[in-house]
Structure 1
């Protein structure tokens, strides 16, 4: 495994669940990883180091532009560059399913701040570094719900639709600088936090599985192949695209 040897990758929301899985997969492929979450993801970093990888854990709120800038500066100081950004941090697993008119303005703003502005802040912060390098990969994490218009989670769905649109716009701006910006859109994936939310059980999960070509639950490891493809040179002639990985529920 060496597709990312010599590359430095930032993964946001890496303390647990899918983000931790992403981080460990990138490290296994040879990347030096910089991990961030609201609390420093020390356990994820330790797991990577125990397998011989190099990892730096940083506490960072992705909605805080100054904190994001400081994280990127520390990554560059420690490892001399940033080649890959995985914008994974988002609010989802703990959200309550409810009609859109029951969503408060404050909740809407919080979801948009984390899920959309967080990706914007991180992409903005790495851009000068990637421009100097003449190369970079930004992988924004959206959701297949943006294509379905899934009910009872309007703020989340709207935020992930915005992430797809943001991806397309950034890709147009930075392609001439050697930077690629693509989107990975998972379907409902049974991470630990999703499993802990009673809303994601029973008929909701069964109906979701029934809509797929491949009729089983999705687990975080199902996303790794697509993530690595978008992060490494295999996808160097691809930008502005959204890759849906949901077992064939959405055919995009």
Structure 2
């Protein structure tokens, strides 16, 4: 494995399982030290990173809560001194038709899927500016481009993620910081397997994707590692669809 991220410090939200865990392990394989935050148990990811010989900080944290994020960022700075790479991966995807949604539903999904990225960026961008180097990677979704019912709240947050990526990239490029987004298709994780989305596992790949198999977290980690490295130093403000050819944009 290449060491493109040797001794970098990567902060990853939603790192307990699925996409966040897979990215954390790939970054560790490429030489990064890792800080992971999640409300779910982090022991498994923590142990796997240590087994790769890298340092790790695991913190139970609600990424949509300003106080939690402030405390987490202080722990990161105390442990590592800085954050070089920020991966905003925390998210939920409730399925609910618009007629059934309440304003509380709307606020909750925006808090977790959108506000969290803002709070983490506010916490760590100042240090990136001071260093003159940084990478921010936001997880969005190809559902933004699809006709799909029951996802008004979710897709609205994914549109916000894309807008946040583009606008923040415009402001931070001059400081040596790139900001990009990755848009996966439906990914098989423990969370999606336990949700109504599991009904789409057998249908979606053959109906909509050019590569007719279900996506797994490992399909995203190469792109995530590339965007975090110096190999992607001149790429910013982009949303890269990693979805087996589902969308063209």
Please say if 1:215 is aligned against 2:189: no
**Which residue of 2 is the match for residue 112 of structure 1?**
110
TM superposition shift of 1:196 = 1.7
Q: Aligned partners of 1:149, 1:183: CA distance in 2, in Å?
A: 21
TM superposition shift of 1:65 = 1.7
Could you tell me which of 228, 231, 234 is aligned with 1:234?
231
* Structure 2: tracts of 5 or more residues without a match: none
TM superposition shift of 1:149 = 4.4
Q: Aligned partners of 1:98, 1:40: CA distance in 2, in Å?
A: 27
**Which residue of 2 is the match for residue 100 of structure 1?**
98
Q: Which string of whole-angstrom CA distances, capped at 9 and with x for unpartnered residues, describes residues 81-121 of structure 1?
A: 110000000012xx2x3322111211111000100001110
Q: Which string of whole-angstrom CA distances, capped at 9 and with x for unpartnered residues, describes residues 159-187 of structure 1?
A: 01100001111111111111111101111
Please say if 1:84 is aligned against 2:81: no
Please say if 1:133 is aligned against 2:131: yes
- Contact kept, 8 Å, 2:183 with 2:239, in 1: the verdict is yes
How many equivalent pairs are there? 248
- Contact kept, 8 Å, 1:150 with 1:157, in 2: the verdict is no
Q: Aligned partners of 2:16, 2:205: CA distance in 1, in Å?
A: 27
Q: TM-score, normalised by structure 1?
A: 0.94
TM superposition shift of 1:125 = 0.7
- Please state whether the residue corresponding to 2:198 is helix, strand or coil: coil
Q: TM-score, normalised by structure 2?
A: 0.95
**Which residue of 1 is the match for residue 161 of structure 2?**
163
* Cα distance, 1:178–1:221 mapped onto 2, change above 3 Å: same
TM superposition shift of 1:39 = 4.4
* Cα distance, 1:212–1:101 mapped onto 2, change above 3 Å: same
TM superposition shift of 1:69 = 2.2
Q: Which string of whole-angstrom CA distances, capped at 9 and with x for unpartnered residues, describes residues 170-210 of structure 1?
A: 1111111111111011110111111122x223456413432
Q: Which string of whole-angstrom CA distances, capped at 9 and with x for unpartnered residues, describes residues 137-164 of structure 1?
A: 0000000111214321110010011000
**Which residue of 2 is the match for residue 38 of structure 1?**
39
- Please state whether the residue corresponding to 2:244 is helix, strand or coil: coil
- Contact kept, 8 Å, 1:40 with 1:57, in 2: the verdict is no
TM superposition shift of 1:226 = 0.8
**Which residue of 2 is the match for residue 11 of structure 1?**
12
* Structure 1: tracts of 5 or more residues without a match: none
Q: Aligned partners of 1:131, 1:201: CA distance in 2, in Å?
A: 42
